[in-house]
Chain A
Amino acid sequence: MNKTWNNKAWFMVLPVLVLVAFSAAIPLMTVVNYSVQDTFGNNQFFWAGTAWFEDVLESDRFWEALGRNLMFSGIILAIEIPLGILIALNMPKKGIGVPVCLVLMALPLLIPWNVVGTIWQVFGRVDIGLLGRGLAALGINYNYVNNVFDAWATLIVMDVWHWTSLVVLLCYAGLVSIPEAYYQAAKIDGASRWAVFRYIQLPKMKRVLLIAFLLRFMDSFMIYTEPFVVTGGGPGNSTTFLSIDLVKMAIGQFDLGPAAAMSIIYFLIILLLSWIFYTVMTSGDETA
C-alpha cells in the first residue's frame, strides 16, 4: 500500500506552535535552565544540579509561605463557595431584578486586581480611609499595617468582595437551567426546602460548582497583587505568600537559581492539587 505523505500540513499548525513556544515553552525552559545552574551575572553559569531544589525544600521560609497559601485558599473557599451558593439561591429568577442583580454581581469582576488592592488599601487606612476611621470611631482597634489578624482579615474580605460574584454567577447559571417541573414535582412530594436544595439544586449545580471551586482555588493560590499592594507581605512575613516570596527572592535578592527552583515547585503544587480536586470531585459521576 502506498501512503502519501504531505508535510505541508505542518505549516498550518506552525503559528500556534510558535505562539505557544514563545508564550509558554521557552519561558518555562528558561526557568528550568536557571533552576539547575548558578550564576553571578555576566553570563557565567555553573552547573548546580538539584542543589537549589534541595535548598528550597529544606528552608522554613518556603514551607511557611506554602502554609500561608493553603490557609488563605482554604479560608477563601470556605467562605466564597457557600456564600456564593446562598446568594445565587436568593437571586430573582425573573423580572427587572434579574438584570439589576447580574450587573451588580458582575461589577467587582470588572475591576483589575491592583485597583481592588488600592481601593481597599485606601479604604482601610486608619488616617484617611472610611473603613479605618469608621472602625476607629466604633472603638475597634484596627490597623492592617501592624496587626497580623487585621492584615489577614483585610485580604480575606477583599478577596471575598472581589470574587464571590464569580461563584454566584456560575451557580446562578446552573440554577436557572433547572426546569420548573422539578420544583413542582418536589412540591407535590412535599419535599422540604432543604431536600429541594440537597436532591435537586445541588446535584444540578455540581458541574458549575466544580468549575467555580477549581477557578477560585487556583486563583487564590496564586494570590500576589492584593497583598503586594495592601500589606507588601507584612506585618513581618505574615502575609508573605509564595508568589510574594518568589518575587522578593528573584528580583529583590537576585537569587535566580533558588527562585527558579521555587517557581517550578510552585507550579507543580498547583498542578497536583488541581488534579486531585478534579479527580475527587468527578469520581462521584458514574459512567455505567
Chain B
Amino acid sequence: MLELKDITKAVGGATHIHPTSLVLERGSLNVLLGPTLSGKTTLMRLMAGLDKPTTGSVWFDGKDVTGLRVQDRSVAMVYQQFINYPALTVYENIASPMRVKGADTAAIDRAVKKAAELLKLTPYLDRTPLNLSGGQQQRTALARAIVKNASLVLLDEPLANLDYKLREELREELPKIFSESGAIFVYATTEPSEALLLGGNTATLSEGRITQFGRTIDVYRRPSDLLTARTFADPPLNTIALEKRGDGFAIGGKPVLPVPGHLKHMADGPMTIAFHPHHLAPAGRDDSAALTVRTAISEIAGSESFVHVEFEGNRWVMLTPGILDIEPDSEITVHVDTRHLMAFDAAGRAIGTAG
C-alpha cells in the first residue's frame, strides 16, 4: 500500500504539487488523468523517490520511505520516450535490473524468456534497441519493468509516442501483463478515453491538485466538481449557465431544457449545466430535448463527426457517429440527452450528477 500524506512540491517559487493525500492499494491499477503540466510526472517522481517532497511524507506498506533513495525502493518506471540501454541487446536490456541485483544466470534466463514471450519479443532478443520499431522498443522497456518485479510500477504516458494501432494493441495487453504481479500500478495519461479503457481507479489532476480519486467509472459518471468533469472530457465538456425554475431550466427567463428526473431534487436557482459531447445528437430519443443551434465548423474524423455549434453564446461540440455533412453558419436542430445532464453550483461543486 502506497500512501502519500499531505505532500507538496515546490521548485523555486513555483508550487508544482499542492497538498495531496492519496492511498493506493496493492494489486490496483491507478490512472493519473490530467492535461500536460498538471503535475502527473512530478507526482510520479515523488512516488518513486526520484524527488523528495517539500513537505509531507510517503509511506509504503506502513513504513515511512520519504527519504529513501529510489534505488533502495522497489520501483520500476516506463517513460513516454523509449528508454533502453543503446549498446546492449534486447536480452541484456531486459536482464539488466536482475543483473544489478546480482541474480543467478539461470533465474535471469528464465525471467527474460518469460517476459519476452509475454511481450512478443522472443525473435528480437539478439538485436539492439536501435534496430527495433518504436513499438518493440517500448515493449523492451515494459519487459524490463516486468522482470524487475517491483512493488510499484509507474507508467508515464507509455503509449503516447506510439502510433494509433500499436497503442490500441498494447493498451489492451497492459492490464493483463501486469495483473498477476500484485504490484501497485500507476499510469499517467492525458486521454480520458485511455483512463476509461484501462478501468481501475482514476485520480484527476488539475494544476498540481488531485481534484477527485475513485473508481474510474464513478469519477467519470459522478464528478465531484466541474474541474474534474472538464478534465475527464475529450472533446471538451459542453456547459451552459442556466436557472432552474421548477420543472425547467431557463436562460433570461426563457425556458430551454426540461429538468430530468435525476435532477428534480435540486433547489431552484442559477447553476451550470454540463454534458458530454456525445450526449448531443442530430436526432433524438423521445425524452431528449430539442434545441436550435447555429453551426460553426464540422470536422470529420474517420467514422465520427465533430460539429462545433453555438447556443446562446456558448460554444459546444457535438460528437456523433457517421459522417455528417453540415453547412457552416446554418441553423440546425440538435437533441440533448437529458438523462446525462450534470449540474454544478456557482463554486463549481457538483449538486446533481447521473445516478
Q: A interface vs B, CB < 8 Å?
A: 179, 181-182, 184-185, 187-191, 195, 199-200, 202-204, 286, 288
Contacts and interface: CB of A to CB of B under 8 A. Distances in A.
A190 B71 contact: yes
Contacts of B101: 190
B50 A189 contact: no
Contact of B71 (A181, A188, A202): A188
Given A200-B86, A203-B87, A189 B127 contact: no
B50 A181 contact: no
B85 interface: yes
Interface of B: 48, 50, 70-71, 75-77, 79, 81, 83, 85-88, 96-97, 100-101, 127-128, 131, 148
A203 B77 CA distance: 22
A200 B127 CA distance: 17
B81 A202 contact: no
Contacts of B79: 181, 184-185
B81 A286 contact: no
23 contacts: A179-B83, A181-B79, A181-B83, A185-B77, A187-B50, A187-B71, A188-B77, A189-B96, A189-B97, A189-B148, A190-B100, A190-B101, A191-B96, A195-B100, A199-B85, A199-B88, A200-B86, A202-B87, A203-B87, A204-B86, A286-B127, A286-B131, A288-B127
Contacts of A204: 86
A187 B70 contact: yes
Chief secondary structure at chain B's binding surface: mixed
A145 B71 CA distance: 57
Given A199-B88, A286-B128, A288-B131, A191 B76 contact: no
A203 B81 CA distance: 18
Contacts of B70: 187-188
A179 B86 CA distance: 13
A181 B131 CA distance: 20
Contacts of B88: 199
Contact of B48 (A188, A200, A203): A188
Contacts of A286: 127-128, 131
Nearest to A185: B83
Contact of B50 (A188, A195, A288): A188
Nearest to A179: B81
A204 to B, nearest CB: 6
A190 B68 CA distance: 13
Query: What 3 pairs across the A-B complex have the smallest Cβ distances?
Result: A190-B71, A203-B87, A203-B86
Given A188-B76, A190-B71, A286-B131, 12 more contacts: A179-B81, A181-B83, A184-B77, A185-B83, A188-B48, A188-B50, A188-B70, A190-B101, A191-B96, A199-B87, A199-B88, A200-B85
Nearest to B73: A188
A95 B148 CA distance: 35
Contacts of B71: 187-190
Nearest to A202: B87
With a 10 A CB-CB cut-off, give which of A189, A203, A204 has the most chain B CB atoms: A189
